[in-house]
A and B are shown apart, each in its own frame.
Chain A
Amino acid sequence: MNNQKTIREVIDSRLASLTLGDEFSRPTINTAVKPGLIRRPLGIAAAVCLCIALALPVMAATIPSFNRLVSLVSPQIAQKLQPIELVSVSNGIKMEVVAAMNDDDTAVVYLTMQDLTGNRIDESMNLLDGFSISGANMLTSEIVDFDAKTKTATLRLMGSGGDKLEGQKVTVRINSFMSGKNVYREVDPGVDLTALLQDPETTALAMNNSPGGGGELYPTLREQGTIEVLKKDALRIPLPGIDFAEISNIGRVDGRLHVQVRWSCDGVENNGYLYLTDAAGNMIYPSNVSLNHKAEGTSKYEENIFELDKTELGGLKLKGYFVSYDRQTEGNWQTTFKIEAVTKAQEAACDIETANMKITRVAISPLGITIMGSGKAPDPDTSHNLAIAAIMAGGKRVDDFDTTNTLNENGKIIIKYMPGSLLDVKNVRAVDINGTTIDFRQ
């Protein structure tokens, strides 16, 4: 047992020999040579480049954007990507679908967006929900590179959950994106929580009429059917520096602290959240309930509910974290193409009961592991989440998944677990789900 040592002591003790030499720092800084090029043997570089060049001879020679993409992704992924090279220009911005790959139910698309006329694209650009991949229900996007010189962002879009994407025509469409991100931290409205109204005016909210919400308390509130919320716009407490949201009422309702926020709906997807913090910097987050649909007016109201009694409020401060974007750019960027599956997915039947879900089928493909079943999807933020791993020939476990996509439709659940690199399907011996092993050797 090593219970006398902290994690820090254990790491420092075990890695004591890893120290930076005296030659580090000033001379190193002054040379200003890209570090990765100093020690990596050029021979390895040449060998890896040669491998890629041999694997993709035609593409590398003729498609500069694909060639550039190859330098951004791992060689393993580069070899599975199919070049697409389709361009769509709208509103002075060029979208090029550079390459894609897919399996039965997931498509991964790499594309670039380049502003030909202005500076509307930057490293903070975010598609949010302004894009679609036909046939896919669960969508994610992330920026993987930004080249300031050419004002070009490279993005990876992933879409899962569709019916048999393999061999189908896929249409990628972008309608809008946000850029010019501003982050506002520790916004303090200066509210004295101890001086709050004991019985503020409230109205009843039928939870069925609420467009949604979240947080630990939310399921309980939904079960209640009807809850009391603060009357809208009874107060106006500004959030310093924030012109797209303000506190529209605050008070204690049924022993809980309610803080109502009015968000202006000016078409830009500004967002944020409130929290309580104590002197030690600990944070308490609220559950929240949306009070109206955006379409109903120019403002959107959200009730933040903290489960705290009055005695706990004394040492706490109400603060906020907000994100805004300087601009939303709209356009109609769209291309349609056909891709073949990287490798046909292998499926196996199983019968696994978890706390919320019955799993009946598992599939593996280079893009990841898909589990299919019925019931309720596991909450990724609780310990009810599934423990999934691919067990490789030789016993190595692959359980490092960068992305998890969940589709829940009429009780039918599909969850896709995608690792950071491709899964070597032919060497997958089994899949482990919460300790139950599903054999894939046949």
Chain B
Amino acid sequence: MNSIPVPNRDSTTDIDELVCEYGDSLFRMCFLYLKDVYLAEDAVQETFLKVYKNYPQFKGDADIKTWIMRIAINVCKNYRRSFWWKHVDAAKSLQEIAFSADPESLQDDTLVLEIMKLSPKYKEVILLFYYHDMPIREIARALNIPASTVAVRLKRAREQLKSKLEGWYYDE
């Protein structure tokens, strides 16, 4: 890969800081992607392990968040391809997650369940765009696909969600 290294960049990172900033949201994204709490926890752990080990090679040619998301998505994809992977009922997995005790919190699974049911290629763009607030060009970098493909997938994912959530909820 051709890239320009950032001069004077510290070759070590404070992993605690990164875990603090991205850990919980990565955990939730991995759960929505893999539909299994334990696999999601493993995926987050493996992601940060890779971040820690590869940080000296991270050339700063992308945003750190983009780089971490790219690693996380690739780890999740590898899990789906792996020997361990099995198809999981999203509804059952979600039922096993306790609702928050906060009375203000949402006590409804509809939207989360529909996101879990999206095919991986749609789910990943929805999660990176809406959940991680990443712009299309950063998503394209994270997924290593053209921005036009991201835009098309996002459009189609929105359409799928819209058709399923009509009358209940829609974000736009």
Which chain B positions have C-beta within 8 A of A282? 136
Query: Which single member of A14, A18, A75 contacts B106 (CB below 8 Å)?
Result: A14
Within 8 A of B (CB), among A167-202: 181-185
Contact with B along A275-290 (1 / 0, CB 8 A): 1010001110100000
Q: A20-B41, A75-B83, A241-B2 are in contact. List 6 more A-B contacts (CB 8 A).
A: A2-B111, A6-B171, A15-B112, A29-B49, A183-B1, A383-B156
Question: When the two chains form their complex, are residues A24 and B97 in contact, meaning their CB atoms are under 8 A apart?
Answer: no
> Can you list 17 contacts pairing A with B, beta carbon distance less than 8 Å?
A7-B111, A7-B171, A8-B131, A10-B106, A12-B28, A16-B105, A18-B28, A20-B44, A25-B15, A25-B19, A26-B15, A29-B48, A35-B45, A36-B42, A70-B83, A281-B137, A402-B121
Query: Which single member of B19, B38, B131, B169 contacts A39 (CB below 8 Å)?
Result: B38
Which chain B positions have C-beta within 8 A of A14? 97, 99-100, 105-106, 108-109, 111-112
Which chain A positions have C-beta within 8 A of B109? 14
Residues of A within 8 A of B (CB): 1-3, 5-8, 10-20, 24-26, 28-29, 32, 34-36, 38-40, 48, 70-75, 144, 181-185, 241, 273, 275, 277, 281-283, 285, 321, 381, 383, 385, 396, 399-402, 420-421
Question: When the two chains form their complex, are residues A35 and B49 in contact, meaning their CB atoms are under 8 A apart?
Answer: yes
Which chain A positions have C-beta within 8 A of B15? 25-26, 29
Given A3-B169, A39-B42, A13-B105 contact (CB < 8 Å): yes
- Chain B residue at smallest Cβ distance from A282: B136
Residues of B within 8 A of A (CB): 1-2, 15-16, 19, 23-25, 27-28, 31-32, 37-38, 40-46, 48-49, 52, 61, 79-87, 89, 97-100, 102, 104-106, 108-109, 111-112, 115, 119-121, 126, 130-131, 133, 135-137, 141, 146-148, 151-152, 155-156, 159, 168-171
Given A38-B42, A275-B147, A7-B81 contact (CB < 8 Å): no
How far is B19's CA from A19's CA once the two chains are assembled, in angstroms?
Answer: 11
Give, as a whole number of angstroms, the nearest-CB distance from B34 to chain A.
12
Question: When the two chains form their complex, are residues A2 and B159 in contact, meaning their CB atoms are under 8 A apart?
Answer: no
Question: When the two chains form their complex, are residues B84 and A8 in contact, meaning their CB atoms are under 8 A apart?
Answer: no
Question: When the two chains form their complex, are residues A401 and B87 in contact, meaning their CB atoms are under 8 A apart?
Answer: no
Which chain B positions have C-beta within 8 A of A321? 146
Question: When the two chains form their complex, are residues A40 and B136 in contact, meaning their CB atoms are under 8 A apart?
Answer: no
In the A-B complex, the 5 residue pairs with the closest CB atoms: A16-B100, A7-B130, A400-B119, A35-B45, A13-B106
Which chain B positions have C-beta within 8 A of A38? 42, 45
Which chain A positions have C-beta within 8 A of B133? 8
Question: When the two chains form their complex, are residues A18 and B27 in contact, meaning their CB atoms are under 8 A apart?
Answer: yes
Question: When the two chains form their complex, are residues B168 and A2 in contact, meaning their CB atoms are under 8 A apart?
Answer: yes
Which chain B positions have C-beta within 8 A of A39? 38, 41-42
Give, as a whole number of angstroms, the nearest-CB distance from A297 to chain B.
28
Question: When the two chains form their complex, are residues A15 and B97 in contact, meaning their CB atoms are under 8 A apart?
Answer: yes
How far is B43's CA from A35's CA once the two chains are assembled, in angstroms?
Answer: 8
How far is B141's CA from A396's CA once the two chains are assembled, in angstroms?
Answer: 34
How far is B82's CA from A70's CA once the two chains are assembled, in angstroms?
Answer: 10
Query: Which single member of A1, A8, A13, A28 contacts B45 (CB below 8 Å)?
Result: A28
Which chain B positions have C-beta within 8 A of A35? 42-43, 45-46, 49
Question: When the two chains form their complex, are residues B46 and A8 in contact, meaning their CB atoms are under 8 A apart?
Answer: no
Question: When the two chains form their complex, are residues B24 and A18 in contact, meaning their CB atoms are under 8 A apart?
Answer: yes
Give, as a whole number of angstroms, the nearest-CB distance from A101 to chain B.
16
Question: When the two chains form their complex, are residues A17 and B98 in contact, meaning their CB atoms are under 8 A apart?
Answer: yes
Question: When the two chains form their complex, are residues B146 and A10 in contact, meaning their CB atoms are under 8 A apart?
Answer: no
Give, as a whole number of angstroms, the nearest-CB distance from B99 to chain A.
7
How far is B19's CA from A28's CA once the two chains are assembled, in angstroms?
Answer: 11
How far is B133's CA from A65's CA once the two chains are assembled, in angstroms?
Answer: 43
How far is B25's CA from A399's CA once the two chains are assembled, in angstroms?
Answer: 27
- Chain B residue at smallest Cβ distance from A144: B81
Question: When the two chains form their complex, are residues B106 and A2 in contact, meaning their CB atoms are under 8 A apart?
Answer: yes
Which chain B positions have C-beta within 8 A of A285? 147-148
How far is B83's CA from A34's CA once the two chains are assembled, in angstroms?
Answer: 15
Which chain A positions have C-beta within 8 A of B25? 12
Given A8-B133, A74-B85, A283-B137, A20-B24 contact (CB < 8 Å): yes
How far is B14's CA from A29's CA once the two chains are assembled, in angstroms?
Answer: 12
Question: When the two chains form their complex, are residues B156 and A385 in contact, meaning their CB atoms are under 8 A apart?
Answer: yes
- Chain B residue at smallest Cβ distance from A183: B1
How far is B98's CA from A16's CA once the two chains are assembled, in angstroms?
Answer: 9
Question: When the two chains form their complex, are residues B42 and A15 in contact, meaning their CB atoms are under 8 A apart?
Answer: no
Which chain B positions have C-beta within 8 A of A5? 106
- Chain B residue at smallest Cβ distance from A322: B2
Which chain A positions have C-beta within 8 A of B81? 72-74, 144
Which chain B positions have C-beta within 8 A of A34? 46
Question: When the two chains form their complex, are residues A11 and B32 in contact, meaning their CB atoms are under 8 A apart?
Answer: yes
Given A36-B84, A241-B2, A1-B169 contact (CB < 8 Å): yes
How far is B147's CA from A277's CA once the two chains are assembled, in angstroms?
Answer: 11
How far is B143's CA from A198's CA once the two chains are assembled, in angstroms?
Answer: 39
Which chain B positions have C-beta within 8 A of A281? 135-137
Given A3-B170, A32-B49, A39-B38, A283-B136 contact (CB < 8 Å): yes
- Chain A residue at smallest Cβ distance from B122: A400
How far is B144's CA from A321's CA once the two chains are assembled, in angstroms?
Answer: 11
Question: When the two chains form their complex, are residues A11 and B97 in contact, meaning their CB atoms are under 8 A apart?
Answer: no
How far is B38's CA from A40's CA once the two chains are assembled, in angstroms?
Answer: 8
Which chain B positions have C-beta within 8 A of A17? 97-100
How far is B136's CA from A383's CA once the two chains are assembled, in angstroms?
Answer: 20
How far is B171's CA from A3's CA once the two chains are assembled, in angstroms?
Answer: 7
- Chain A residue at smallest Cβ distance from B25: A12
A6, A15, A18: most-surrounded residue (chain B CB, <10 A): A15
